[in-house]
Copies of this chain bind each other. A is one copy, B any other.
């Protein structure tokens, strides 16, 4: 069916349905296909760009083991985590005992589970476009494709820096703990690569008092800054010091993750008392919630002053599955969204800092119903606010259409932050940008064909969505 329509497989992916729409979408997509990729928010490891002879490991280590998008699907269909290489907490990460060929085989046999999912489409893209795999992945082809990828990964053109160039990346931001030494970023900056890889300041583990091992994280922060953190005031000083350090190594943004968007300011005395209780491991009920709500406002204050763009990712209940958490630890595909509230929760922060255009606050939600009801109306008013791209469970073609259909009419395109790929595996980056660009091209083609946008306007919007908005929002 598809074969009769085109010569190159995938050349018209996401375009249409309908020939008119596909034709216009293709033309718009072609107008940005050569633009470099701006990646202001990823979970890629900077290490891969600072060492020489980096190894991605096996195909299973590249595609499956580190990606909870992938193994959560297999787990949901009854495949035990252990068979997917997810290390157990108790026995340590003894990868030597892992049979990566077998993991790959299991994955390949179940690859049909990913039909119609973005994960399936990204992996399909990476196999085809990055590794030149021509066969379909399934139980029969699994080992042959494994060999093919393994061989490719040995070649110099599959070293991270070579791929970075091949992918046409302009800038890539990692996500780093406030206490991180940023040694890899420093090494990269000292090489001829300059600021191609920038850190992002993520202080959750020292700001969220309920983080396991919070006092150890704070001790590390004291060590990193030379500031003896004995209470609220010294904690603030240490955070400010650390932000300066991140900025010196090229950071332009911070990142904060919260279950809710609750914000409310504490008195200095209350803030001081809470931190001192936390340091003595004597937290009272609500201390952590109240402190997080206060610190978001304080972080907005710092961003207003030092210019770091503030990202806020809201809405996941972490580690929903106790059994999985106890055996395998955090971030194992068992984070589940909850209903969101922003209008009342963000009011204290926005009333204090939201009118200042020096602040840029980028909001991400896991509750799509808040896009039209709260986030777009807020972003269409407050100078400081921008809407982040559809995030996590909503990073599909359908999620992008729902987001654009809803958000642009209310807040306008120019109150969105453009695209960020939120990539967990480096090789998925081009696939994610390809999907975003194609889907937005197809969405714009709808506007053009229904006379809601003129051609020259659509071309400008296309460029802004593919490139300009992310670059401008994140000050890159």
Contact = CB atoms under 8 A, between A and B. Distances in A.
Interface of A: 1-3, 5-6, 9-21, 24, 27, 72-73, 75-78, 112-118, 121, 317, 320-324, 333-334, 336-339, 341, 343-344, 347, 350-351, 354-355, 357, 366-369, 372-374, 376-383, 385, 393-394, 396-399, 401-402, 405-406, 408-415, 442, 445-455, 457-458, 460-461
B448 A2 contact: yes
Contact of A449 (B17, B343, B381): B17
Copies in the complex: 3
A357 B78 contact: yes
A130 to B, nearest CB: 18
19 contacts: A1-B448, A2-B448, A2-B454, A6-B451, A13-B451, A15-B450, A16-B20, A16-B450, A76-B415, A78-B383, A116-B452, A116-B461, A117-B412, A121-B452, A321-B354, A336-B381, A372-B394, A394-B410, A397-B450
Contact of A453 (B116, B343, B447): B116
A245 B396 CA distance: 46
Nearest to A333: B381
Contacts of A1: 24, 27, 448, 454-455, 458
Nearest to A341: B339
Nearest to A457: B115
A321 to B, nearest CB: 7
B116 A413 contact: yes
A373 B452 contact: no
Nearest to A21: B17
Given A113-B412, A393-B377, A321 B382 contact: yes
A13 B450 contact: yes
Contacts of A368: 369, 372-373
A83 B78 CA distance: 54
A17 B445 contact: yes
A380 B339 CA distance: 18
Nearest to A15: B450
A451 B336 contact: no
Contact of A374 (B336, B374, B452): B336
Nearest to A380: B76
A378 B9 CA distance: 34
Nearest to A449: B17
Contacts of A382: 76, 321
Contacts of A354: 321
B116 A408 contact: yes
Contacts of A405: 398, 401-402
